[in-house]
Amino acid sequence: MKSKIIDAQIYSAQVTSKTIWLFISLKDVNNIEGWGEASLQGKESEVYKIKNDIFKIILNQNYTSPYDLKNKLPFSNIIEACISSGLMQCLWDIQGQFENKSISNIFETKRSTIDIYANFNRVTIDRSLAGVSENAKKVALQNFDFVKFAPFDEVNPKMKTKEMLSAMRMGLDRITRIKEVLGSETKIMIDCHWRFNYEASIELLRECKKFNLYWLECPIPEDIENINSIRKLRSISNNFGIKLAGLEKKILKEGFSKFLNAETYDVMMPDIKYAGGPDEMIEIEKLFLKNNVEFSPHNPSGPISHLQTLHVCASVTNNVLMEHQFEETSHFQKLLTNSAPMIVNGKSSINTKVFGLGNSINKNVLKDVS
């Protein structure tokens, strides 16, 4: 393939009062348009601030493979990585359309059905026990085997340990209610959003033993200086029969290496929007395989990220568990020119006979939420 990118655009979609999705499109000299997603909650203005500087790096550059342009892109921080990862998604979409192959087929499709778990945190606007119960029932009706929630709204990372332990009681009550609704067969994952310190996390794990959780996610900040603490928490967590999960915002393979070497997590959760795009996600999964770590893509985002991640999951060696933000907004389907694959009983099919991503953003609909 010999090509050149001649146009780059970014589009914003305000889909809820709190959620904004950012989509990137690239067009090449053959008039092929590719799509990527660069959503980064709360940092949209920072993305817009530097987007043109990064777009200039690849515009009007001759290339034969997306790898040619990837080597020029910056990944030194989460803002740069978000834009560069979005561009890589676009480039692989274009590559697939040019080759008449799906993105998954470029990397060799290994499966056409992906296991999905429901994250029903954002759809739960009412954070009372009744509100949590109501949305847990909606999830139950759709027969997901795996479900995730972030219950610890009242815990603040700036609190002292005793304050954290007091504040987490409501979160524990929410988990109790979820268990009551979903029963013992559904596997529950709990996201802590880095709200706890090490000492409070130990007590949290003790409290969570009775829930028989599938995993506990991101209890403490994932700074390099916390690596040993995370490793110790993994050991404690495993002793209670709980997996420890994290690392949703790491960049490229290098962002995971020290955490892998220290054996910090049972499950690591790269996000296609930050990790470097489809090709890098597949390389990261290979690295996880060598280290006996589960690969479970973080994906609480819009439809382009969802579709790109489906193609990745279809291409990796082992069957994986992929995240989906459950019923956050109807715009998830409305914004696409073609419907996204339906999730049925916690599984999503993927059409591997499409070219590239096999979908795009409907710009006419986009105007209504921009």
Residues 58 and 182 in one domain: no
| Amino acid at site 81 | A
**What is the CA angle 143-116-19, rounded to 5?**
105
Contact 168, 199 (CB under 8 A): no
Residues 61 and 130 in one domain: no
Going from the C-alpha of 170 to that of each of 109, 150, 208, the distances in angstroms are 44, 12, 13
Alpha-carbon distance of 191 to 243, in angstroms, equals: 12
CATH classification at residue 124: 3.20.20.120
Number of domains making up the chain: 2
Establish if 84 belongs to a structural domain: yes
What secondary structure letter does DSSP report for 368?
Answer: G
Alpha-carbon distance of 191 to 147, in angstroms, equals: 11
The beta strands (E) that lie in 196-329 are given as 215-217, 243-246, 267-268, 294-295, 321-325
Residues 156 and 52 in one domain: no
pTM as predicted: 0.97
Residues 76 and 8 in one domain: yes
Residues 278 and 141 in one domain: yes
CATH classification at residue 70: 3.30.390.10
Establish if 358 belongs to a structural domain: no
Residues 146 and 89 in one domain: no
Max Cα distance, the chain (Å)? 62
Establish if 285 belongs to a structural domain: yes
Backbone angles phi, psi at 164, to 5 degrees: -60, -45
Quick one: which of 301, 331, 298, 297 has its CA closest to 314?
297
Alpha-carbon distance of 201 to 216, in angstroms, equals: 10
Residues 109 and 78 in one domain: no
What secondary structure letter does DSSP report for 341?
Answer: P
Residues 218 and 243 in one domain: yes
Look at the block and give the residue holding tokens 């268990």: 179
Q: Token pair of 238, please?
A: 């495993």
Residues 139 and 229 in one domain: yes
Residues 189 and 96 in one domain: no
Contact 217, 189 (CB under 8 A): yes
Alpha-carbon distance of 35 to 42, in angstroms, equals: 22
Look at the block and give the residue holding tokens 């034969």: 64
Establish if 254 belongs to a structural domain: yes
Residues 89 and 115 in one domain: no
Range of the domain at 344: 105-349
Establish if 171 belongs to a structural domain: yes
Strands 33-37 and 20-28: antiparallel
Residues 323 and 249 in one domain: yes
Quick one: which of 250, 252, 247, 249 has its CA closest to 73?
252
Establish if 355 belongs to a structural domain: no
Quick one: which of 139, 115, 142, 144 has its CA closest to 309?
115
Q: What is the pLDDT of residue 367?
A: 80
> What pLDDT tens digit does each residue of the chain (370 aa) get?
899 999 999 999 999 999 999 999 999 999 999 999 999 999 999 999 999 999 999 999 999 999 999 999 999 999 999 999 999 999 999 999 999 999 999 999 999 999 999 999 999 999 999 999 999 999 999 999 999 999 999 999 999 999 999 999 999 999 999 999 999 999 999 999 999 999 999 999 999 999 999 999 999 999 999 999 999 999 999 999 999 999 999 999 999 999 999 999 999 999 999 999 999 999 999 999 999 999 999 999 999 999 999 999 999 998 899 999 999 999 999 999 999 999 999 999 999 999 999 999 999 998 878 6
Alpha-carbon distance of 194 to 173, in angstroms, equals: 19
Contact 106, 91 (CB under 8 A): no
Establish if 282 belongs to a structural domain: yes
Establish if 357 belongs to a structural domain: no
